[in-house]
Amino acid sequence: MGKFSNGIFGNFYGKIGNVVGSSWRGIDYLKSLPKINKNRVPTQAQVEQQHRFALMTDFLAPLRPLLDVGYKNQAKKATAYNVALSENIKNAITGNYPQFLVDFPALSLSSGVLLLPTNLAVAAAAELKVDFSWTDNSGKGKSLKTDNVFTLAFCPELDEAEYTLSEATRENESLSMTLPAEWDGKEVETYLFMASANGKEVTRTYYGGRITVTA
């Protein structure tokens, strides 16, 4: 693949023969189409990787708004979502083919060096609530009172997710999520991370464990 700019006919986008012109983040590219052997049989390793890819794509696709924040700083030569997808395929899948499963404790929604708050905890509360709590440690490293909080609750049984975007800050020291009525009695996986108000600094992901929702 080659980069180009302002050819004799200007920038080229589209397809001519086996050459494709495209642009990403303001950089123009020319690349040739891959040669496809229709009779090629994938290896066992390729089949397994395809299954891992499908599993994690299905899981992460609805979470793109979280990942766009959590992996923003890692998006150098790929989108934030694609970086998150690659990392979680590598680190957050367990089991043996064809019974691959998402490894919930290893799941990552964010990547960065901003400090998480101290004394993080997650607990189920009445009226379908999940309570996240922490101690404000503003001033440690680059931590600020205005750092935004992002949370996720995922119900494996229903294959459904609920999340919050910037509904609390580090100085608030708590956030309560209200989950759907059909989640009553179900177990959910919980997560939290923080990002600076300008999005330039992000924490790693905190896994809050599995809790049972109560009405």
Distance CA 154, CA 188 (A): 5
The answer to whether residues 154 and 58 touch, using CB atoms and an 8 Å cutoff, is no
Question: Residue range 195-211: average pLDDT?
Answer: 98
Band (pLDDT 50/70/90 cuts) for residue 127 is very high
3-state percent helix, strand, coil for the chain, nearest multiple of 5: 25, 35, 40
> What pLDDT does 8 receive?
47
- Token pair, residue 98, equals 């064809």
Which of the 8 DSSP states describes residue 117? P
The answer to whether residues 33 and 22 touch, using CB atoms and an 8 Å cutoff, is no
> What pLDDT does 40 receive?
83
Band (pLDDT 50/70/90 cuts) for residue 39 is confident
Q: How far is CA 126 from CA 3, 80, 184, in A?
A: 57, 36, 10
Distance CA 96, CA 93 (A): 9
Q: What is the mean pLDDT of the chain?
A: 90
Where are the extended beta strands (E) located within the chain? 2-3, 14-16, 19-24, 27-32, 93-94, 101-102, 118-125, 129-135, 148-155, 160-169, 174-178, 187-195, 206-212
pLDDT beyond 80 at 76: yes
Question: Residue range 84-100: average pLDDT?
Answer: 97
Band (pLDDT 50/70/90 cuts) for residue 50 is very high
- Token pair, residue 140, equals 């440690």
The answer to whether residues 108 and 191 touch, using CB atoms and an 8 Å cutoff, is no
Question: Residue range 136-152: average pLDDT?
Answer: 98
Question: Residue range 109-113: average pLDDT?
Answer: 98
pLDDT beyond 90 at 31: no
Percent with pLDDT over 90 in the chain: 80
In sequence order, the 6+-apart residues with CB closer than 8 A to the CB of 38 are none
Question: Residue range 53-70: average pLDDT?
Answer: 98
Among candidate residues 180, 194, 187, the one with its CA nearest the CA of residue 209? 187
